[in-house]
Amino acid sequence: MRSKLFRVGITAVLVITAVAFVSTAAFAQARPAAYTPAKTPDGQPKITDGIWNRRGVGGLDGGALEAEAQRPNNPLDPTARNPVSVSARPDGLNNTDRGFLDQFSEKLGLGAEDPDRPAPLPGQRQLMGIAEPGRILPWKPEANAARQDFLLKTNPAKGLKYLEMDARCMQPGLFFGNGPFQFLQTDKQVTILSEYQHFTRHINMDGRPHLPKTFKMFMGDSIGKWEGNTLVVDTTNFNGITSYSREIPYLSEATRTTERFTLTDANTIDYEVTIDDPTQFTRPWKVTGQYTKANDLPELLEYACWEGSITMRNILGDPPSK
Amino acid sequence: MKKLRGLVTGAGAVICILMLAGISAEAQQAQRRVGGKPDFNGIWQAMNSASWNIEDHQGEMGVPPGLSVVEGGAVPYRPEALAKKQENYANRATADPTEANCYLPGVPRITYMPFPFKITHTPTAIALSYEWTHALRPVVMDGSPHPETPEENWMGISRGRWEGDTLVVDVRNFNDQTWFDHAGNHHSEQLRVTERYTMTGPDSIQYEATIEDPKVFTRPWKMSMPLYRRKEPNIRLLEYECAYYLQERIYKDAPFF
């Protein structure tokens, strides 16, 4: 009797699990299956030629297509109009992530909607940012303490290492620079060109392994593969000096990202990146958003940042001599 | 029996085809075409010392010697422009926009910097990505004219077209800030560069750049050189972040207040 009940129980669990699994799989596949992209000559799903823009994949501090009024305040702006400014927060920066993000990120259904934000177009993915409950990153306490200590030295910058990489005209590290972008596909690589900081992402599709650990790079070393309509990109070999935003000073060399670019129609790519930096966070966290075809942008123009820039001189003063 | 013979013959034919395919892999690479044109995809590099000096020059400490890549040997400067070149040469250690300041090298200098670059070639688009400070040149191939921009560009604006199997890139909208080499060879904002990329084998491109700038030169002139495929099986572009290295040096003890 007991054993029969046990068997029934097991069966029920198995059935429920199977049903759950099947329906989850069906749900997960439901959206991509609705769109069948064209194929490249060698059979890869084809990313529509041309220029793309980013929506919602901002750092904590920006979004390419966000209207000026919807842009967040600069966290280092010490004026009263910026209530989450680091400088205006001598109280220890608690809750910075939540307060800052609430200014510009759309909700995950966890709070009130921003009435000023336009509704997404039909069928469009909600624009997000950090896809974490409350958008609070899972900091390790010691990393969070180091971060707060660091941030208090950034305005004014107490030295070169307290200056954000954007002010130094460096590549952004994670794939969050302001657009536009151009995607080019060959049989061995997906190449993404960025107007911002004129960087190129070389995503190797030919099965080669990652670079040896000796190589530490701003944009890391990327390997891609297709899973259905999703380009999955695994990136390692980061250099430990790029940041996710002004509020997170650096991501460590141990950082590994997994990006998923899902073609949902000819003009839309859903984007999700999982950021795993075990030295600073208790678990990986995600940022999600979208790329949309920018039909009104014919080409990438030149973004010459370092050439003639006086930003560093303004912040750090004139070097004694070159 | 007949059937078996047919099978054996068929298998033999298949093996022959497979062997031929193996033998001529390199030849096939040469014949590979993208959108009906030779396949320029790959990582390429000049193998000369033009980045130090496009004209004849002897070796110096840290400067490899080299023969001129300029057709006819010398750059046809107007007299006042030659004086400017000589001044640039004297001040090159600090005045070279690229070597001393890490500014984008312009065209054609970026082509013969001693660093590899990648050509990405699809049926509709071409992009040139350089290892040196991740310089980037999207080459628009849609037949559109150069945009009317008030901005002057370090790398110019590139418009590509095909003349037979030759990729011709017309580059305009330059500023007057870049040098052709470390020896101070220069130009004005009236510079116009016409590049011609012609595949001469599976692993080589003949590169030509015609330079027009009536403000600086007495006539159009041309430089040319081969570009070679980097054939290492694990070749890829790495990062050479000139501005970062420079900043780490000159702002090491900042702030300077």
Three-state SS annotation for chain B: CHHHHHHHHHHHHHHHHHHHHHHCHHHHHHHCEECCEECCCEEEEECCCCCCCCCCECCECCECCECCCECCCCCCECHHHHHHHHHHHHCHHHHCCCCCCCCCCCCCHHHHCCCCEEEEECCCCEEEEECECCCEEEEECCCCCCCCCCCCECCCEEEEEEECCEEEEEEECECCCCECCCCCCECCCCCEEEEEEEEEECCEEEEEEEEECCCCECCCEEEEEEEEECCCCCCCCCCECHHHHHHHHHCCCCCCC
Instruction: Tell whether A31 is covered by a domain.
Output: no
Nearest C-alpha of chain A: how many angstroms from B13?
25
> Nearest by CB to B120, which of A184, A204, A301?
A184
Tokens coding A49: 């030629």
Q: Tell me: do B128 and B229 sit in the same domain.
A: yes
pLDDT of residue A252: 94
Nearest Cα of chain A lies from the Cα of B54 at a distance, in angstroms, of 23
Residues of A within 8 A of B174 (CB-CB) are none
- Average confidence score pLDDT of chain B: 91
Determine how many CB atoms are found less than 10 A away from the CB of residue A301: 17
- Whether A308 contacts chain B with CB within 8 A: yes
B125 and B51 part of one domain: yes
Task: State whether B8 and B98 are in the same domain.
Answer: no
CB contact under 8 A, B127 and A301: no
Taking CB atoms and an 8 Å limit, are B243 and A219 in contact across chains?
Answer: no
Percent of chain A surpassing pLDDT 70: 64
Three-class SS state of A17? helix
From the list A49, A217, A299, the residue facing B239 with the nearest CB is A217
Q: Is residue A16 part of a domain?
A: no
For residue A247, the model assigns a pLDDT of 63
User: Is A246 or B59 the better-scoring residue by pLDDT?
Assistant: B59
**Comparing A132 with A113, which gets the higher pLDDT?**
A132
Per the CB < 8 A criterion, the answer to whether A151 and A249 are in contact is yes
Q: State whether B27 and B120 are in the same domain.
A: no
Contact between chains at A193 and B102 (C-beta distance less than 8 A): no
**3 state SS for A198-253:** HCEEEEECCCCCCCCCCCCECCCEEEEEEECCEEEEEEECECCCCCCECCECCCCC
Q: In terms of domains, do B97 and B197 share one? A: yes
In a domain, B95, yes or no: yes
* pLDDT of the residue at A92: 35
Closest CA to A249 of A223, A280, A294: A280
Q: Which of A64-73, A233-242, A262-271 has the highest mean pLDDT?
A: A233-242
Look at residue A127 in the predicted model and tell me its pLDDT. Answer: 54
Q: Is 70 exceeded by the pLDDT of residue A120? A: no
B44 and B26 co-located in one domain: no
The pLDDT value recorded for residue B26 is: 54
| CB contact (8 A) between residue B129 and residue A159 | no
E-only strand ranges, A1-129: 51-55
Pick the more confident residue, A12 or A141.
A141
Q: Is residue B255 situated within a structural domain?
A: no
Domain annotation covers residue B2? yes
In the structure, what pLDDT confidence band is assigned to residue A22 with cuts at 50, 70 and 90? very low
| Euclidean distance between CA atoms A310 and A319, whole angstroms | 12
Average pLDDT estimate for A94-111? 33
What is the mean predicted confidence (pLDDT) over B219-245?
97
Structural domain for A211, as ranges: 51-316
Mean pLDDT comparison of A104-113, A313-322, B64-73, highest-scoring range: B64-73
Q: Which of the two residues, A31 and A50, has the higher pLDDT score?
A: A50
Higher confidence at residue A154 or residue A219?
A219
Residue A29's contacts (CB-CB under 8 Å, 6 or more residues apart) are: A228
Pairing of strands B37-38, B42-46: unpaired
User: Residue A75's pLDDT band (boundaries 50, 70, 90)?
Assistant: very low
Chain A CB contacts of B95 below 8 Å:
none
Return the DSSP state at A68: G
A209 in B contact zone (CB under 8 Å):
no
- A302–B122 CB contact, under 8 Å: no
C-alpha distance from A270 to closest chain B C-alpha (Å): 23
> B255 vs A157: CB contact, 8 Å cut-off?
yes
Whether A312 and chain B come into contact, CB under 8 Å, resolves to yes
pLDDT band for B101, please (50, 70, 90 cuts): very high
Q: Is residue A193 part of a domain?
A: yes
**CA of B140: which chain A residue's CA is closest?**
A299
Q: What is the mean pLDDT of residues A200-217?
A: 96
**Of the partner residues B138, B142, B241, the one whose CB lies closest to the CB of residue A193:** B138
Residue B155 shares a structural domain with residue B188: yes
A39: contact with B, CB 8 A cutoff: no
Q: Taking residues A72-82, what's their average pLDDT?
A: 41
Select from B97, B134, B254 the Cβ nearest to the Cβ of A316: B254
Would residue A1 count as lying in a domain? Answer: no
- Is the predicted pLDDT of residue B115 greater than 60, yes or no? yes
The verdict on residue B146 lying in a domain is: yes
Examine the domain organization and report whether B23 and B119 are in the same domain: no
**Cβ-based contacts under 8 A for chains A and B:** 125
Tell me which chain A residue has its CA closest to the CA of residue B154: A304
Residue A38 contacts B, CB cutoff 8 Å:
no
Contact at CB, A319 and B127, closer than 8 angstroms? no
Q: Kindly tell me if the per-residue pLDDT of B232 is higher than 90.
A: yes
Q: What is the pLDDT of residue A5?
A: 42
Does B103 lie in the same domain as B66?
yes
At A68, the amino acid letter reads E
Whether A3 maps to a domain, the answer reads no
Partner residue opposite A218 with nearest CB, options B102, B138, B241:
B241
Q: In this model, does residue A243 exceed pLDDT 90?
A: no
Which residues, numbered 76 to 105 in chain A, qualify as contacts with chain B under a Cβ-Cβ cut-off of 8 Å? none
Mutate to test the interface with B, among A200, A215, A300 (most CBs of B within 10 A): A200
Residues of chain B positioned with their CB less than 8 A from the CB of A188: 41
Place A33 in a pLDDT band, splitting at 50, 70 and 90: low
Question: In angstroms, what separates the C-alpha of A198 from chain B's closest C-alpha?
Answer: 6
Closest CA–CA distance from residue B134 to any residue of chain A (Å) = 6
**Token couple for A265:** 């129609």
Q: Nearest Cβ partner of A168 from B97, B103, B247?
A: B247
Count of structural domains, chain A? 1
Domain limits for position B158: 33-250
Q: Does A238 touch chain B (CB under 8 A)?
A: no
- The pLDDT value recorded for residue A128 is 54
Cβ B144–A298 below 8 Å, yes or no?
yes
- B172-226: per-residue pLDDT in tens? 999 999 999 999 999 999 999 999 999 999 999 999 999 999 999 999 999 999 9
B177 & B73 share domain: yes
Burial class of residue A7, CB neighbours in 10 A (0-12, 13-18, 19+) = exposed
Are B14 and B64 within one domain? no
Mean pLDDT of A295-322: 88
Which residue reads 């080499």 in tokens? B181
Half-sphere exposure of B126 (CA within 13 A, CB side): 25
In chain B, the largest separation of any two C-alpha atoms, in whole Å, equals 96
Chain B residues near residue A170 by CB distance under 8 angstroms: 241, 243-244
If you measure CA to CA, which chain A residue comes closest to B100?
Answer: A322
Provide mean pLDDT across the span A220-249. Answer: 91
Chain B residue whose CA is closest to A315 = B255
Asked if residue A12 belongs to a domain, the reply is no
* Average pLDDT of the residues in A129-148: 78
B121-165: pLDDT as tens digits: 999 999 999 999 999 999 999 999 998 876 799 999 999 999 999
Percent of chain B with pLDDT over 70: 88
Residue contact A312–B247, C-beta within 8 A:
yes
Asked, for residue A43, whether it belongs to a domain, the answer is no
Q: How far is A63 from chain B (nearest CA, A)?
A: 23
Per the structure, the count of domains in chain B is 2
* Of B151, B250, B257, Cβ closest to residue A322: B250
Q: Are residues B26 and B84 located together in one domain of the fold?
A: no
Q: Is residue A24 in a domain?
A: no
Query: Per-residue confidence at A261, pLDDT binned at 50, 70, 90?
Result: very high
